[in-house]
Structure 1
């Protein structure tokens, strides 16, 4: 608590505290939303199953307009990435060093999750667990990685996209929205999935670009800007879903002709526009409230482990379900029944306790963040470090490392959840991620290894 209090007190006056609040609220809403819609039941053969309550409760789908807050995360991500990149360059750093720091902050906690899941799955296989169930459990636990793949892509492209933003302004997100429209058209015409796959990047990048505009003052917190965005976005979203061909749910529901979230659709971008308008409308009031010490300390505390919370919140579900099932105390009331609704409260409490324990164990990785230096392996020659640190090699390997990590995460996401895998994660996807992570850590460690070699030895006396 003392450390958090110090961090809160050391916040510079110029910091846009609403950005941190939105990040904390967005992740909290995602966690609670997932926990509330998860339905646990039994298959005819007695095995545990899980699915979304939205399949059984059509009346709840409009509620997703409130709990679908991933656009806000990309908005604040764009703001934060623009701010940190600008600050890094003002201190004399370059885009490569910035990307290495940003990637370390995201990938180190992610690597811990993947390694723990892979080790647990491998151990379960050795003990004779069903390979399909093992893969299914790992697939569910790794659901948060669906979001991380496009976000890492946005981080990788930030130096380029911010340069385009500075030159072309709102023309960039407008072009991206046009590409999303083409992807949606391909989906409605039942074109090959690859034609719409670009929406996974174009849609989130469009929102990420608006975070740049907020940071640069091109989206000011004025009613003349906020109200048209709020009501225009809501109107467009209503027309797209009530009159148009898009589903009402802003969270994917199996069986829908088109999904709004993954990949993002024009309907989701319309909702995102309304959310941005609401943020700008409430910005000044929220900023004043965050100047008080206690609310700001809470926001700082959540943000200190926000990625850990997000990464492990489905694992908390598996732990609670496994514990209750092992002692034959797992309730499975019919979805939407009074018993199911009443079970939501103790369910949330149990999951909160499990997640708190996971954060206590794994949160320290995120708390260290990118501050922990990468160490050069002693068994590797220093001449390799010199090669990795070369100004023409370093940028290429950095891009390759991030790209491999993204491909590894996407490979796990796209693999069928019932396809057996020795480590629960497809081996090629796991290798790609770990290889990308290793490349980034070595590139990051190379300059310090060279400096250590060039430093003259200490002389006594």
Structure 2
């Protein structure tokens, strides 16, 4: 989003055969916090038992992942307005980070990197190998020495890892831009990494000057997107993402520190609608790339920053803090638990699954029976999603165990919880 080329990277269609439904891709997270749910502004919430999961946050994380996949399939621009996934996920991550920083900061940062990087390394091993086999290499960009150096960002994503703009498409079986499409999720890992590295400093600022710390990312986002700053280059790309979601990360930290409980209960519900109105106003003022689709929140960083901040304010203010599922949600325990256990894997591999739907559906077009009787299905926007879901499950089976190994857990092939007869699901 630092320039037109960066925005294009975030909004690449998956795949090209369905360009109209996925012209604007969204960004896509995870973490775990323990929000307080005190009944009044003056009364602190009861402390949560150590190790007990907050199912409300698990629900938010699962909804965010599902929303990202749906948005990348359909390209519905109203979805980010209904549920700004990445703002929510960065807020949850900030809350968890603040709670974890009760321990020595170096150990916490090392633990976060250990959980984040191995799934990315597995993803990179597959994607980089595929790009090289499809014609990408040191001479593709005209700077062979820089090419080798930039490969280091596949090890530590302090900046966007290099990727192929166009390749051969494996003899036409995939679109020539397939590599550019599948690396879209990597922006999140880069932003998350910088938040983690700077969290000890951010937490100190939250404790000393909380309201100033909350406002700084929004002010910086306004400055960067004012048109007065040249946004080209890797540094500005990283700075734009950092300021877009920085307020949500800081708000998650402030919530964990109990800041929201120290203000009157009517303040957040009164202020949040005004913040949302400001975000929507900024969105409507922004230039529209495609009149057929209308304004896209994902393509307007300042509007996204303000809108996400307002939504996160409301969600953290509600914060019911469930240790057990409410009865209407018990039936979804399995899929929500699975998504939380494999959040990074789903996030990294869902674009690969969506890209792979194109050659599979093309084969059905060549089938006489399918062409004669199932054209209504083959032309449906829902069909690629139905094809992508089993491919995502396959990715979970093949690569999900890396998340267990990174977290020093016993690797599991498919961590879907089993229900014990006669016992209510936790």
TM-score bracket, normalised by the shorter chain, equals 0.5 to 0.7
SS at match of 2:381: helix
**In structure 1, C-alpha distance between the alignment counterparts of 2:134 and 2:326, rounded to whole Å:** 49
Instruction: Tell whether 2:125 aligns with 1:115.
Output: yes
Instruction: Tell whether 2:283 aligns with 1:241.
Output: yes
In structure 2, relative to structure 1, the CA distance for the partners of 1:296 and 1:168 (3 Å cut) is farther
In structure 2, relative to structure 1, the CA distance for the partners of 1:192 and 1:210 (3 Å cut) is closer
Post-superposition CA distance 1:372-414 (Å, at most 9, x none):
79xxxxxxxxxxxxxxxxxxxxxxxxxxxxxxxxxxxxxxxxx
SS at match of 1:193: coil
Alignment partner, residue 273 of structure 2: 231
**In structure 2, C-alpha distance between the alignment counterparts of 1:365 and 1:140, rounded to whole Å:** 23
1:168-187 matched pairs, under 5 angstroms: 168-185=209-226, 187=227
Measure how far apart 1:160 and its partner are.
1.7
Alignment partner, residue 96 of structure 1: 106
Instruction: Tell whether 2:361 aligns with 1:324.
Output: yes
Alignment partner, residue 73 of structure 1: 89
SS at match of 1:148: helix
**In structure 2, C-alpha distance between the alignment counterparts of 1:291 and 1:13, rounded to whole Å:** 19
In structure 2, relative to structure 1, the CA distance for the partners of 1:259 and 1:344 (3 Å cut) is closer
**In structure 2, C-alpha distance between the alignment counterparts of 1:107 and 1:270, rounded to whole Å:** 29
Measure how far apart 1:36 and its partner are.
1.6
Measure how far apart 1:322 and its partner are.
2.2
Alignment partner, residue 22 of structure 1: 60
Post-superposition CA distance 1:336-373 (Å, at most 9, x none):
xx969961222221110111111111111112223179
**In structure 2, C-alpha distance between the alignment counterparts of 1:219 and 1:329, rounded to whole Å:** 59
In structure 2, relative to structure 1, the CA distance for the partners of 1:239 and 1:264 (3 Å cut) is closer
1:255-270 matched pairs, under 5 angstroms: 261=298, 264-265=301-302, 267-270=303-306
Contact 2:345 2:400 in 1 (8 A): yes
**What is the number of equivalent residue pairs in this alignment?**
317
**In structure 1, C-alpha distance between the alignment counterparts of 2:401 and 2:322, rounded to whole Å:** 29
TM-score, length-scaled by structure 2: 0.65
Larger helix percent: 1
1:21-100 matched pairs, under 5 angstroms: 21-37=59-75, 61-86=77-102, 89=103, 94-100=104-110
Contact 2:182 2:352 in 1 (8 A): yes
In structure 2, relative to structure 1, the CA distance for the partners of 1:322 and 1:341 (3 Å cut) is closer
Measure how far apart 1:259 and its partner are.
7.8
Contact 1:150 1:201 in 2 (8 A): yes
SS at match of 1:170: helix
**In structure 2, C-alpha distance between the alignment counterparts of 1:253 and 1:113, rounded to whole Å:** 32
Q: Indicate the structure (1 or 2) with the bigger Cα radius of gyration.
A: 1
Contact 1:75 1:208 in 2 (8 A): yes
Contact 1:226 1:276 in 2 (8 A): no
Alignment partner, residue 353 of structure 1: 390
Alignment partner, residue 144 of structure 2: none
**In structure 1, C-alpha distance between the alignment counterparts of 2:334 and 2:67, rounded to whole Å:** 19
**In structure 2, C-alpha distance between the alignment counterparts of 1:158 and 1:137, rounded to whole Å:** 35
Consecutive unaligned residues in structure 2, runs of 5 or more: 1-48, 137-165, 171-175, 368-374, 411-426
Contact 2:273 2:310 in 1 (8 A): yes
Consecutive unaligned residues in structure 1, runs of 5 or more: 1-10, 38-59, 331-337, 374-461
Post-superposition CA distance 1:5-59 (Å, at most 9, x none):
xxxxxx857543322221221121111110122xxxxxxxxxxxxxxxxxxxxxx
Measure how far apart 1:207 and its partner are.
1.4
Post-superposition CA distance 1:160-186 (Å, at most 9, x none):
21122122212112122211111111x
Measure how far apart 1:213 and its partner are.
0.8
**In structure 2, C-alpha distance between the alignment counterparts of 1:247 and 1:19, rounded to whole Å:** 35
**In structure 2, C-alpha distance between the alignment counterparts of 1:123 and 1:13, rounded to whole Å:** 45
Alignment partner, residue 370 of structure 2: none
**In structure 1, C-alpha distance between the alignment counterparts of 2:391 and 2:108, rounded to whole Å:** 34
TM-score, length-scaled by structure 1: 0.60
